[in-house]
Structure 1
Amino acid sequence: MQNQRLAQEKMRQIGDLFAIGGKFVSGEEIQTGLINTSVCLSYVEDDGVIRRYLIQRINEQVFPRPGDVMQNIKRVTRHVNDRVLRSKRDFSGQSLNLCPAKTGEVYAGGPNGGTWRCYRFIEGCRTYDQVQNEHQAYQAAYAFGAFSDLLSDLDPTLIVETIPDFHHTPKRYQQLVEAVENDVAGRVKSVQPELEFLASQREQLSRLVDMQAEGILPVRIVHNDTKINNVMINAETDEAVCVIDLDTVMPGVSLYDFGDMVRSAANETAEDDGCIENVGLSMPIFKAMVNGYLDACPSLTAEEINEMVFSVKLCALELCTRFLADYLNGDVYFKTTREHHNLDRARNQLRLAQCVDESSKEMQGVVKVRLAS
């Protein structure tokens, strides 16, 4: 009981750093999420209404410059909300709302160290780890597409690159090459087929970054973590409300957002399923996501649309190289719960890339229909 009171007192002290109205009622730690520490605090206002706030401590091992992260989020959320207000849009494209610290900044130093931020809690919503149906796939894609479109007129040079080369597939492949050369866990001999396949794809790995460097693809402000669990879904209507987890928002290529979204949602099995026969690409989910993303993001260029199918394959290959490199390094980055977990993940993504190749004609047909419309 005493420990519980101490925990509540610590949470009250953290909440007291921010300009929150009302009286502290209670707090609870949120267990979901792998990067940041999160707590939900409840306050009762003078009219008796209970309002909740999500307060997070930024993981400074992942984001060593939390101030830069917060300045990015401040610019992005203000720009999105300003555009939503001016256009009176109330479906998707909405954004998180920061609650300022009492200092006037958008973040605060905690009583025991660390950097904390505060969002107004979004009521009546939930998130999903996996797409349940085509409607949800469309809604998630619409939300990410709207997010990209609403930021299409914000200067990317105003956004700081907080994790350099986050989506730079050739450099990810080079990290795999180094892991092979070092072979610290003595596992290279066991993954020769995977290494040979990736080597056969090497020329394709720089395609998008080269196109951006040549000016064919525009530099956009992108989300960089477009899994469906980063979209808040209205619990009653099953419609997308808001894109969340903006820590990795940076300048980049929009196709990595689209490709990673489809890669994570359209795989017919979990990405760590060790039974490769279960891996497949759901065409209904892919079609729903193409339609949702394009309906919400009319600012995409023809060049970007033409590369949508390839982007799915590229994102699968990039994640494959990351899983395989970690496996060769002794499983030091990604959390594992069984032997060969990272190898199963790598093979899963490799097979998904092959599935894209096998279905590319049909997938490209879906995209061409939209280009022609």
Structure 2
Amino acid sequence: MIAVKDTMLNNVLGNFKIDQKNYQFQDINQGYINDTYLVLDQNGPLYILQRVNHNVFKDIKGLMGNIANAFSYLIDTEYTPIALLKTQAGDPYFEEKEKGFWRLMTYINNTTAYDNATDVNIAYEAGKVVGKFHQLLAKAPLDNYVDTIPQFHDLSLREDQFNASLKSAKPEKLEIAKSAISFAKDTLEKLKVIDNSKLPQRICHNDTKLNNILFSKESNKALCLIDLDTIMKGYFYYDFGDAIRTVANQAIEDEQDHRKITFDRLLFEAFVDGLGANGPFLHHEELNTLAWGAVFMPFIHGLRALTDYLNDNIYYKVSYENQNLDRCLSLFHFTNKALQEVDYMDQVIKKKLTPLN
């Protein structure tokens, strides 16, 4: 079976402008959406090969255009670049009619990623690289980016989808998830305090969980962000809140023992210090939303997981029936902790970050 898979993947690589030989492959299973492989030869890792899930991402051309555009700006002495390898036809991706859409990217040697911050240095470096990412992309014209998933973090849309799932869900699932459903309804009302109309749009990563940041194994310095499928227009509190849910929390995303779920103030402050190390780049109105962003992002991920659970797991990959519900409950537990820290977070942000205006 492995030999068959390797043969198939080598056939895919034959469509890219790289040395044509037999490569080996190693599965990378961190993501929920795409199929990802590390490409190796006898000397070690060389590339990252991905099959993009076109059931989730409908506009592959627009998605790949976003990534190629962003990569052209994400080059700096404080940011390690990644490049797309072109196909034999000169395209940034290869379309295989039966097996989907493939892309090939450069591999950064001697790197690692963390699911959670284990110390303040990791949290600080995460904040610093997220800030640098936004500083570099502030120069990129917004009009050059399409919405790869329209209304990705739109609370009204996610609320409508959630309400629709309540009407169609099996009675036993509604009973099992009743506490999560109640929390979702209460929190949806609280989050309507956020007013996007006062905020500038930015090019956002939109999925800045900690394991989408590469770190140097030697120095533990954060090098760059990976998995840019969701890069598109958004608001900075999206990326801030998405990072905080994995930086300040020591538990895995679908942790069933909620006693392990934390809001670590030292790690939170270290992340904010890292953002501040880039100098001012956020407007006053943006700073006012960041604390609520740390509530909004774990909640909206939890709401999507709950909706998918009620819809019989049609979006996220799951390894057991109730995994989406476990994700939801874990994310909602952290959301509740973040709700209790809003005033504290706001004070830290105002103290440590200087606005542009």
Q: Judge same fold: TM > 0.5, yes or no.
A: yes
- Say which of 21, 26, 45 aligns to 1:24: 21
1:27–1:39 contact (8 Å) kept in structure 2: no
Q: Supply the distance in 1 between the matched residues of 2:44 and 2:307 (Cα, whole angstroms).
A: 48
Shift of 1:9: 4.0
Q: Does structure 1 residue 121 correspond to structure 2 residue 86?
A: no
Quote the residue 2:163 is aligned against.
Answer: 177
Q: How far apart are 1:243 and its partner, in Å?
A: 1.0
Shift of 1:7: 4.4
Q: Alpha-carbon deviation of 1:257?
A: 0.8
CA shift, 1:51, in A, is 7.3
- The one-letter code sitting in structure 2 at the alignment partner of 1:167 is H
Match of 1:97?
A: 83
User: Partner amino acid for 2:324?
Assistant: N
Output the CA distance in 1 between the equivalents of 2:298 and 2:3: 47
Rounded to whole Å, the distance in 2 between the matches of 1:310 and 1:362 is 11
Q: Is the 8 A contact 1:95 1:244 kept in 2?
A: no
Alignment match, 1:87: none
Kindly report which structure 2 residues correspond to 1:178-197, keeping only aligned pairs within 5 A, or say none.
178-197=164-183
Moved more, 191-200 or 116-125: 191-200
Counterpart amino acid of residue 69 in structure 2: R
Matched, 1:80 2:80: no
Give the TM-score of the pair, scaled to structure 2: 0.89
Alignment of 1:328 onto 2:310: yes
Contact 1:231 1:240 in 2 (8 A): yes
CA-CA distance at 1:4 after TM superposition: 5.7
Corresponding position: 1:152 with 2:138: yes
CA RMSD of aligned residues (A): 2.5
Would you say 1:66 and 2:48 are equivalent positions?
no
**1:140 maps to what in 2?**
126
Q: How many residues align?
A: 354
The 5-angstrom pairing of residues 1-373 of structure 1 reads: 6-20=4-18, 22=19, 24-32=21-29, 33-42=31-40, 52-81=46-75, 84=76, 90-91=77-78, 93-110=79-96, 113-208=99-194, 211-212=195-196, 214=197, 216-296=198-278, 298-338=280-320, 340-371=322-353
Could you give the per-residue CA deviations for residues 171-230 of structure 1, whole angstroms, max 9, x where no partner exists? 21221112222333433345444433333333333444xx33x2x111111001111111
> Distance between the aligned counterparts of 1:14 and 1:327, measured in 2?
34
- 2:132 is paired with a residue whose SS is helix
| Secondary structure of the corresponding residue to residue 345 of structure 2 | helix
Q: How far apart are residue 128 of structure 1 and its match?
A: 1.8
- Secondary structure, aligned partner of 2:140: coil
- Distance, in Å, in 1 between the alignment partners of 2:26 and 2:45 is 16
SS at match of 2:63: helix
Contact kept? 1:157, 1:251, Cα under 8 Å:
no
Q: Report the CA distance shift for 1:16/1:287 in structure 2 as closer, same or farther (over 3 A).
A: same
Q: Which moved more, 1:145-154 or 1:336-345?
A: 336-345
Structure 2: how far apart are the matches of 1:331 and 1:105?
A: 34
Q: Distance in 1 between matches of 2:87 and 2:150?
A: 28
- Unaligned segments of structure 2, at least 5 residues: none
Q: Which has the larger radius of gyration?
A: 1
How far, CA to CA, are the matches of 2:161 and 2:6 in structure 1? 44
Aligned mates of 2:345, 2:164 — CA distance in 1: 34
Normalising by structure 1, we get a TM-score of: 0.86
Closer, same or farther: CA 306–64 of 1 in aligned 2, 3 Å? same
Please state how far the C-alpha of 1:264 moved relative to its aligned partner.
2.3
**Aligned partners of 1:283 and 1:104: how far apart in 2?**
48
Gaps of 5+ in 1: 85-89
Cα distance in 1 for residues equivalent to 2:106 and 2:287: 35
- In the TM superposition, residue 78 of structure 1 has moved relative to its aligned partner by 0.9
Cα gap change, 1:346 to 1:14, in 2 (>3 Å): closer
